[in-house]
Amino acid sequence: MQHLLATHPRRRLFQLSPPATKPSREGVFFLPSIRIGLAVLALGGLGAGSLALAQEPPAPSPERSRELIRMVRQDCGSCHGLTLRGGLGSPLLPETLRDKPPDGLKHTILLGRPGTAMPPWKTFLNEAEADWIVAQLLRGFPEESK
């Protein structure tokens, strides 16, 4: 899987069908400022069906969302890559994460993975923000707005 990602990252991202295991629910959870970007991502990247994700966590304020997006892209990106295709850390693309339970991913973010280079981020994030980050990672993480 990782090998495929490495050779055709973008194309893979755009060909993938959405995770099929989740019960559906309409997505009505985004603040206006990020709704457009995410909708574009969802439509272009994953197909309209991906709006039907389960239990979408509430989005943080627009300002905090921007901070979190920058943190993930830049600071997580220092190990996982700016494009989240992986580096010293593993890739964080929807294809690589979708088989993993979201709760486990949240705990990895908050508590780190002892014995590896993954540090705990709980000092900088609350649980709801970690949930939101996981949800964004699973649907294809937003780009930073300029």
Residue 94 CB-density burial (10 A; 0-12 exposed, 13-18 middle, 19+ buried): buried
Q: Say whether 146 sits in a helix, a strand or coil.
A: coil
CA atoms within 13 A on the CB side of 115: 0
Q: Select from 60, 86, 94, 140 the one that contacts other proteins (CB under 8 A).
A: 86
The reply to whether 142 sits near other proteins by the rule CB under 8 A is no
Question: If residue 15 lies in a helix (H) or strand (E), which one and from where to where?
Answer: helix 9-15
Residues in 94-123 that interact with other proteins by CB under 8 A: 112, 117, 119-120
- Stretch (H or E) spanning 36: helix 32-41
Q: Applying CB under 8 A, which of residues 15, 78, 126, 145 lies at the interface with other proteins?
A: 78
List the one residue from 54, 64, 100, 144 that touches other proteins (CB under 8 A): 144
* Cβ neighbours, 10 Å, residue 85: 19
- When the beta carbons of 52 and 67 are compared against other proteins, the nearer one is 67
Q: Closer CB to other proteins, residue 43 or residue 82? A: 82
Interface ranges with other proteins (CB under 8 A) = 2-3, 6-7, 70, 74-75, 77-79, 81-83, 85-88, 112, 117, 119-120, 124, 144
